[in-house]
Structure 1
Amino acid sequence: MSLFHAVLWLDHHEAKLLQFDADHVEAERLRAHSHHTKQHGSAVRSEHEFFAEVCAALQGITEVLVTGSRTAQSDFRHYLEKHRPQQVGQVVGYESVDQLSDKQLVALARQYFVKHDRMNGVPTPT
């Protein structure tokens, strides 16, 4: 199945990745592994490991809407730009939202992508 739209909800502890088309939704959940040590910067290292897992889950997805808290989005965007510049183009937008159900996230993303596709000249499927 070819699912090229996705919505990612994330905070600093977990992420929900929902890939979808008109009829199907595939969900994947990722959790940060907290193994803080007394070593300087271990929290940053743990965050980078988590964001690396999220980036790996995004492989092969054409367009992703990133949602979640403003801080988590900002940190993820910075991580992408610095460590995964080849994936920056996958992210078509950022939206700050509270934690939503899977259905609510997909509904939000579908509305977003209808507008996004229209702005890019992609006809709306009927």
Structure 2
Amino acid sequence: MTTFHAVVRIDHQHAEILQFDAEHVQAQKVKAHSHHTAKHGSGVRTEHEFFGHVCDALAGIAEVLVVGSKTAQADFRHYIEKHRPALGKQVVGYETVDQPTQNQLVAFARQYFLKYDRMAGTPTPT
């Protein structure tokens, strides 16, 4: 499936990536792995690895909407700006959401991209 848009629901432990077109939705989940050692007990290292895996999963997607809590979005945005600035060009927005169902999230993202694409003058693929 060739996708043009994706929405990522992210927190500090999980990410759900929903790639979609007009008729299909493809879901992928990324989960943080915690591995604590006496020397490296910091959660920052684990969080960076997790955010890196999420970024890897977004490779090749033209437009990405990131949703979740304000804190998770801010931390992910900071990671992208510092470590993956090329991906920052693919992220078209950050929105705070509660816990919508997968169908509600895709509907929200479709509406968002419809408005975004119209404002940007981008033709929405059919």
TM-score range for the pair, normalised by the shorter chain length: over 0.9
Q: Which residue of the partner structure matches residue 66 of structure 1?
A: 66
Q: C-alpha distance in 2, partners of 1:12/1:36?
A: 16
Alignment of 1:1-126 (within 5 A): 1-39=1-39, 42-123=42-123
| CA displacement, residues 97-116 of structure 1 (integer Å, 9 cap, x when unaligned) | 11221101100000000000
Q: C-alpha distance in 2, partners of 1:100/1:14?
A: 15
Do the aligned residues in 1 keep the contact of 2:3 with 2:21 (CA within 8 Å)? Answer: yes
Letter in 2 for 1:30: V
TM-score normalized with structure 2 length: 0.94
Q: Extract unaligned runs of 5+ from structure 2.
A: none
Q: C-alpha distance in 2, partners of 1:123/1:87?
A: 21
SS at match of 1:79: helix
Q: C-alpha distance in 2, partners of 1:91/1:123?
A: 17
More divergent stretch after superposition (97-106 vs 39-48): 39-48
Q: C-alpha distance in 1, partners of 2:23/2:124?
A: 15
SS at match of 2:15: strand
Pairwise CA distance, 1:6: 0.4
Q: C-alpha distance in 2, partners of 1:6/1:104?
A: 14
Greater than 6 Å deviation, 4+ residue runs: none
Q: C-alpha distance in 2, partners of 1:50/1:68?
A: 15
- Over 3 Å counting, the alpha-carbon distance change for 1:125 and 1:64 in structure 2 is closer
Q: Extract unaligned runs of 5+ from structure 1.
A: none
Q: C-alpha distance in 2, partners of 1:125/1:16?
A: 23
Letter in 1 for 2:75: D
- Over 3 Å counting, the alpha-carbon distance change for 1:124 and 1:2 in structure 2 is closer
